[in-house]
Amino acid sequence: MIENVLKNADVRMKKAVEALNNELSSIRTGRASPALVEHIKIEYQEILTPLIQLASISVPEPKTIIIKPWDRSIINNIDKALLKSDLGLNPTNDGTNIRIAIPPLTEERRKDLIKIVHKRLEESRIHIRNIRRDTVDELKQHEKNKDISQDQNIKATDQLQKLTESYINTINKIGKDKEEEILEI
C-alpha cells in the first residue's frame, strides 16, 4: 500500500517536471528550435490547431526556422498567427514556405526571459510541494484507518521527503540550464 502511494506521488512529480520542460522549451533563446513555434495555434477550417499538426518545422541553420505547411492555402493564417504571438518574431512568407530569422536577444529581453523562467520554476516547485502535502495527508489517513502503523507512516514520509528533494533539485538544474542558455551569446 505504501509503495503504491509513493509510486503515485513519483508519477505525479515526474509529470510536473515534464510539463516544466515543455513550458521552458517554448521560451525563446538566441537559438532556433522547432519547440519555439510548434505550440502556436493556427485557425484551420474554423478550428484552432497547433502549428505542428499543420506543417513541418525544420531548423536548417542555428538562427533560422523554416515552416512548410502541408496545405498551402493556410500559409497566410500561419503568418498572421506568428506575428500575433508574443515571441517577437518576424516571419517571411514566400508563398510556399515561411522563414523565420531568430534575432539576437537584447540584454533587457534576456533579463525578462530569466524572470519568466524563475516564475515557472517556482510554480513547479509549489506543484511538487502540493503533491508532497497531498501524499502526506493520504498517508496520515491510512494511519488513522489503521492500514499502516505510525512507524510505517514516518518511514514513508521520510522517503517522500527524499523524493520531493530530488525533484526540486531536478527543477533547479533545469532552471540553471535554461538560464545559461538564455544568457549565452
Share of the chain above pLDDT 90, in %: 42
* Number of Cβ within a 10 Å radius of residue 32: 21
pLDDT in tens, 121-170: 999 999 999 999 999 999 999 989 888 899 999 999 999 999 999 999 99
CATH of the domain at 91: 3.30.1360.40
Domain count across the chain: 2
What single DSSP character describes residue 91? E
- With beta carbons less than 8 A apart as the criterion, state whether 180 and 137 touch: no
90 and 128: one domain? no
170 and 113: one domain? yes
pLDDT in tens, 57-93: 999 888 889 999 998 888 888 888 888 876 777 888 8
CATH of the domain at 112: 1.10.132.20
What amino acid is encoded at 104 in this protein? P
81 and 12: one domain? no
Q: What is the CA radius of gyration of the chain?
A: 22
| Predicted structure pTM score | 0.71
125 and 179: one domain? yes
Domain that holds residue 38: 34-101
pLDDT in tens, 96-117: 899 988 877 788 878 888 888 9
112 and 174: one domain? yes
Domain boundary among 101, 134, 157: 101
